[in-house]
Amino acid sequence: MATEAEHYGVALGEPRYSDDDWDAKLDVVHELKPELASFTFGLPSAVELARIKRAGITVVAGVTSLEEASAATDRGFDALVAQGPKAGGHSFIFDGLAPAPTQPLNELLASITDRCHLPVIAAGGLATAADLDCALQAGAVAGQFGTAFLLADEAGTKAVHRAALTDPAFAETSVTRAFTGRYARGLRNRFIDEHDHQAVAGFPNVFYLAGPVLAAAATSGDPQGTSLWAGTEFRQASAAPAADIVSELVHGGSPGLGSAPQGQSAGS
């Protein structure tokens, strides 16, 4: 990592632990009272969850296995987001030291809906109306899309990330913890190739260490030195207004002009 910092002319960050002001954020949620609050990387305590629910807020837990879904159900959550292994960005898995989940989304949906009597939202690898239909048939009540909106007109995707998503040089995605210390899927680049084999578990410590390098690479427009989160179906992402993308996902058809090049993407 030191060579990366030297290459981009920055100093490495401090590999420290932080809960990212967890208690303060829960206070804000309780004060603002949004209609829905979702949680990843684990579950809030029973006391924390009860406080949020007393405020009339619907609570949703992101899960990657039947065991996690059962724990969230027992804790008192209102709904679940079942994340399959093709998802872009960080895995929802509770145990940051465990291997990255590999159970296919439809199998995960079937196991959860058979045992946990909560509404289940499907996520991870959904890119088309057909994908959504398949998830609904597998027991989901809705689909959650992320990668499909990375090129949306309203998306805050950084320029270097947006360009990489349509660059033929980026042919596949890969799951790594090299960027943050926690497993996440992104476009495979030089940083992953050179550092994945030595990556360690340690979130958010690794993120704080690598943060200045990743930021410097992005600022300089170098996609080879920063995280480019994306699911396996990134080639299906369209450069169009978000409303048009939603319409396509719900009704099928074309999202309009400016679509990204279509094609089959490879997994990790």
pLDDT digits (tens, 9 = 90+) for 187-206: 999 999 999 999 999 999 99
CA neighbor of 233 nearest in space, from 107, 148, 123:
148
At residue 253 the predicted structure's pLDDT band, cuts being 50, 70 and 90, is low
Q: Is the pLDDT of residue 258 over 60?
A: no
Question: Average of pLDDT values for 44-50?
Answer: 97
| pTM for the structure as a whole | 0.90
Which is more confidently placed, 249 or 77? 77
Q: Is the pLDDT of residue 266 over 60?
A: no
pLDDT digits (tens, 9 = 90+) for 9-21: 999 999 999 999 9
As a whole number of angstroms, the distance between CA 182 and CA 205 comes to 10
Q: Is the pLDDT of residue 268 over 90?
A: no
Question: What are the phi and psi torsion angles at 254 (to 5°)?
Answer: -95, 140
Q: Which residues of 140-173 are buried (b: 16+ CB within 10 A; e: fewer)?
A: beebbbbbbbbbbeeeebeebbbebbeeeebeeb
Which domains, from first to last, does the chain contain? 2-16+152-236 (no CATH), 33-145 (3.20.20.70)
pLDDT at 165 (0 to 100): 98
As a whole number of angstroms, the distance between CA 47 and CA 49 comes to 5
pLDDT at 187 (0 to 100): 98
CA neighbor of 125 nearest in space, from 89, 151, 93:
89
Question: Average of pLDDT values for 208-218?
Answer: 96
Structure tokens given for 241: 């207004």
